[in-house]
Chain A
Amino acid sequence: MYRIRFHGRGGQGIKTASRILGTALFIEGFEVQDAPRYGAERRGAPIFAYVRADTHPIHERGVIHRPDLVVVADETLLAISPAQVLEGVTDSCVVLIYSAKPEAWWRQQLPDIAQIVVLVPLESLSVAIPVGALCAGAAAALLGKVSAEALAHAVEEELSAHDAAMVESNRKAILAAYMEVTPWRGLVCSSLPLGVAQTPPPVWVNVPHDAVDIGAPVIHAGATSGLVKTGLWRTRRPVIDRERCRRCLQCCAWCPEGGILAGADGWPVIDYEHCKGCLVCAAQCPFQAIGVIPETQAEGGADAQTADRK
């Protein structure tokens, strides 16, 4: 059985990627499961999707804890522990990372990962293609069991609701990604289905009954959601240019998160711990005083800003 786990962010087409790969495998005669994880499919939030394929009936269900291939559509997720990108990765598992950084760099960053393949962004693409789709193409090649024809058919089938030009540009891009990793074709090995013998028994913990005011799911404090750092969703960061800002504070009013507050000195301050990077502020600033930089170029900046506020 092949177990493939996709990691990306909402908006990258991760669910569609799992469907394209699943359909391609199905066309090749496999029994297939593909499913996204339900619950947090928010734009920018970590997204998971799973594909299982086997020549025999599949009796496993649910989340994939022991993958044969992990696909990472957004490299920044590797640094975020709740994204669980490397969960259950063993030496036989291949990790495919969509990144402009070279493989050698990733080997240094992730010394414990035995097999890393890097899919570099394809500069030949004239239109923006969802990263998830490119990853589906590369994943299909790594499995070595999907022909280019089956992959092309799967793209057409999964994108059938879209117009022909869009299907065509996606098909081309996915096949380009497929060709890009051809040197590693067939690198992913299938593993045996996990039977009862290979599955560790559950660890039972006896929890005594608590009084209802403790045991019930009642929240006794207000405004606790501030503890959730939704700033992790952000891929691009708004930055206020104080040379241009005239402290009109319209950004504070427009921010859908309530994430821009006026400091004591009258300057607007962006709460980077919670800003999801919607960039409404940058689009609406009447003085073009809010610039946008990729989050990857702002490393360390978050801490400095937070310190500023305190």
Chain B
Amino acid sequence: MTPEHSGKAEESPRQRLLSAGTPMCAGCGGLQALHQIYDQVGEKTVFVNAAGCMTLLSIYPYTPFRGSWLYTAMACAPAGAQGVRDALDVLLSKGHIDAGQDQLPVVLTGDGSAYGMGLSATSAAIDRGLDFLYICYDNEGYGNTGHQYSAATPAGARTATSRVDGYTGVKKDLFAIWSAHRPAYVATVIGTEPADLARKVKKALSLRGPRLLLVLAPCPTGWGFEPSRMVEIGKLAVESGIWPLKEYSDGQVRHTRVPAKRAPLEAYLGLQGRFRHMFVPRRNEEQLAALQRQVDDYWEHID
């Protein structure tokens, strides 16, 4: 973006910091958000990446990152971030690097790790007050292995391991779990709301301690929609109220966008193959009403 084209400079840089050429699927909502986040967090970061779709970002000898990247097993990315932080602290204390060369450990995992396998290591890292940023790209299933259900899969969604009537559990509330630890910052974001996302990244970067950016990542492959509809579906997730945009800091939860009039949930569900069984061969009125009621109940208590 040229300076004379003012006003849009933040939205449209000449060059994105995160390089193209990654093996993420066409239309990946997680990659869209990561581009926006990386433009702000920059290259003075050490990404600690648990196994998942985004492990494939860096396949030797290729990486889209300008800064450092480290791969860990699925359950232990926050422990990896602790090691990186400790190592940097040792280098700082011995004078091998100065404060200007310090880097931010950034954990990057999918929902399988963030909501499930890695939760213990995450909880412990927050307990220790680890100074790190956690980015979870939540595509509501184990996307890299064929989209089996995870603890983040919403009720009723078909996955590779819940093929007929969909997932019978409920989506775990990771925002509440993180907030209950009283960390520095927790926020839900989505790449299709770039202004809200940019403000939250900025806020997260202004704080120290454990910080989570929980990104809903519309997934054409796992959710069953045409890649071209990714932004439409992301916007509907927010407008229908099923993905509330909110943040936690200083013991308070604030909703950053309260839809004045929520779109009907089925407008969101109906665009996705994983919910198709609720519409054909016949509409499952009971299930559709129950899911709508859950969204309505949530917002009833929000100002």
User: Which residues of A are at the interface with B, using a C-beta cutoff of 8 A?
Assistant: 10, 40-45, 161, 163-165, 217, 219, 222-230, 233-234, 247, 249-250, 252-259, 261-262, 264, 266, 268, 271, 273-274, 276-280, 282-284
Some 29 contacts from A to B, beta carbons below 8 A apart, are A10-B25, A43-B26, A43-B227, A164-B281, A165-B281, A219-B60, A219-B63, A219-B69, A225-B22, A225-B63, A226-B21, A227-B21, A230-B20, A230-B22, A250-B11, A252-B11, A253-B11, A253-B36, A253-B194, A256-B28, A256-B191, A258-B18, A262-B2, A262-B5, A262-B14, A271-B20, A278-B227, A279-B226, A279-B227
Cβ–Cβ contact A256 & B31, under 8 A: yes
Query: Please, which residues of chain A bring their CB within 8 A of the CB of B15?
Result: 261
Cβ–Cβ contact A40 & B25, under 8 A: no
Query: Please, which residues of chain B bring their CB within 8 A of the CB of A43?
Result: 25-27, 220-221, 227
Cβ–Cβ contact A163 & B18, under 8 A: no
Given contacts A224-B63, A228-B21, contact A278 B12 (CB under 8 A): no
Query: Please, which residues of chain A bring their CB within 8 A of the CB of B127?
Result: none
Cβ–Cβ contact B20 & A249, under 8 A: no
Determine the residue in chain A with the shortest Cβ distance to B18: A258
Rank and list the top 5 A-B pairs by shortest CB-CB distance, nearest first. A258-B16, A278-B27, A276-B26, A274-B20, A228-B21
Cβ–Cβ contact B27 & A280, under 8 A: yes
A224 to B62, CA, bound (A): 5
Query: Please, which residues of chain A bring their CB within 8 A of the CB of B256?
Result: none
Asked if B97 is at the interface (CB within 8 A of a chain A CB), the reply is no
Query: Please, which residues of chain A bring their CB within 8 A of the CB of B231?
Result: 254, 280, 283-284
Given contacts A259-B20, A261-B15, A274-B21, contact A225 B64 (CB under 8 A): yes
Asked if B128 is at the interface (CB within 8 A of a chain A CB), the reply is no
Give A226 Cβ to nearest chain B Cβ, in Å. Answer: 5
A252 to B11, CA, bound (A): 8
Given contacts A223-B19, A282-B228, contact A262 B25 (CB under 8 A): no
- A-contact 0/1 string along B182-202, CB 8 Å cutoff: 000000000110100000000
Report the number of A-B residue pairs with Cβ-Cβ less than 8 Å: 158
Cβ–Cβ contact B22 & A256, under 8 A: no
Given contacts A224-B19, A249-B8, A256-B32, contact A283 B58 (CB under 8 A): no
A279 to B232, CA, bound (A): 12
Give A42 Cβ to nearest chain B Cβ, in Å. Answer: 5
State the interface size on chain B (CB cutoff 8 A). 56
- A-contact 0/1 string along B272-298, CB 8 Å cutoff: 000001001100000000000000000
A219: contacting residue among B11, B21, B58, CB under 8 A: B58
Asked if B95 is at the interface (CB within 8 A of a chain A CB), the reply is no
For B20, B57, B232, the residue with the greatest tally of chain A CB atoms inside 10 Å of its CB is: B20
Query: Please, which residues of chain A bring their CB within 8 A of the CB of B89?
Result: none
A218 to B192, CA, bound (A): 34
Cβ–Cβ contact B66 & A222, under 8 A: yes
Determine the residue in chain B with the shortest Cβ distance to A224: B62
Asked if B230 is at the interface (CB within 8 A of a chain A CB), the reply is yes
Cβ–Cβ contact B21 & A283, under 8 A: no
Given contacts A43-B220, A228-B23, A230-B20, 19 further A-B contacts (CB under 8 A): A10-B25, A42-B23, A43-B221, A165-B281, A219-B62, A219-B69, A222-B67, A225-B20, A249-B11, A256-B26, A256-B31, A261-B14, A271-B20, A274-B21, A276-B25, A278-B220, A279-B227, A280-B231, A283-B231
A222: contacting residue among B2, B31, B65, CB under 8 A: B65
Cβ–Cβ contact B63 & A257, under 8 A: no
A191 to B26, CA, bound (A): 39
A163: contacting residue among B64, B230, B281, CB under 8 A: B281
Asked if B155 is at the interface (CB within 8 A of a chain A CB), the reply is no
Cβ–Cβ contact A226 & B281, under 8 A: no
Query: Please, which residues of chain A bring their CB within 8 A of the CB of B12?
Result: 249, 252-253, 261-262, 268
Residues facing A in B46-102 (CB within 8 A) are 57-58, 60-67, 69
A163 to B231, CA, bound (A): 28
Asked if B210 is at the interface (CB within 8 A of a chain A CB), the reply is no
Cβ–Cβ contact A258 & B35, under 8 A: yes
Asked if B29 is at the interface (CB within 8 A of a chain A CB), the reply is yes
Query: Please, which residues of chain B bring their CB within 8 A of the CB of A261?
Result: 12-16
Query: Please, which residues of chain B bring their CB within 8 A of the CB of A227?
Result: 21, 62
A228 to B61, CA, bound (A): 10
A253 to B29, CA, bound (A): 12
For A165, A227, A278, the residue with the greatest tally of chain B CB atoms inside 10 Å of its CB is: A278
